[in-house]
Amino acid sequence: MEDGNCSICQQVPESVVHRLWECGAAQDVWARCPTQIEKCASGQDDILQLFITMLNKLSTEEFELFLVQSWLIWNQRNTVVHGGKLQDPNQLNIRARDYLEEYKEAQNHLAIPAHAKPRQSWRPPSGSVYKLNFDAAIFTPMGASGCGAVVRNETGLVMVALSAKGSPVMDSEEAEAMACRKAMEFVVEASFSKIILEGDNVNVMKAISSPSINLSWLGLI
């Protein structure tokens, strides 16, 4: 891919390989990277060949750094094209390492511990009873809520299902209560009489199953 001379060198046709690897500005950055990266590839015909060469020769950590640094070089090239200035190569190398460390730290926080309690799986009802599962969603930008419900028999076969848009709600508990009411109306209209109701909001399920009158604002729902 060529689209005129390099916006930085002003001499060499600006291919993708040139932008990321061969341009003098890019080479100033790579020269300050680990030696293995700097001397790893030369004379590549296209970007795919360059990446394959790097993948085969670099360690995982070095290849990750190469990818982040490539993104920064491309970003800098776009900045120059739109009137910005070249950044110091040392600063780009520092930023590349910082970005990579931040990414790895974020991945560690998102990792699920091996001892985490597994999520309880769905259990079918017994006999001629059906199980109704419902859930709610809140669509803040749309000013609306949503309800999803499904009825299954003792073999797990779906009998009927519902997906509906609801009115705006104040919080997740109100959304769950509204979804429960909508789901119950749905199964009554569908002529189901023996139903086990199952939802994932503990407070709402306790309020529904309690024999006492609910005097809170949720009780109105």
How confident is the model over 204-216, as pLDDT tens digits?
Answer: 888 888 888 777 7
Measured distance CA(50)–CA(44) in Å, rounded: 6
- CA angle 127/132/134 to nearest 5° reads 160
How high is the mean pLDDT in each 10-residue block of the chain (221 residues)? 58 74 81 73 75 86 89 85 80 88 83 60 87 92 89 93 89 90 93 90 84 73 67
Q: Write down the pLDDT at residue 41.
A: 62
What pLDDT is recorded for position 2? 46
Residue 32's pLDDT is 81
pLDDT at 7: 62
Residue with tokens 């999520």: 119
List of domains in the chain: 16-110 (no CATH), 130-220 (3.30.420.10)
Q: Give the pLDDT confidence score for residue 183 in this predicted structure.
A: 93
Average pLDDT, the chain: 82
Q: For residue 125, which amino acid is it?
A: P
Give the count of alpha carbons within 13 A of 75, CB side only: 10
With a CB cutoff of 8 Å and minimum separation 6, the contacts of 182 are: 134, 147, 149, 162, 164, 166
- Does pTM top 0.75 for this prediction? no
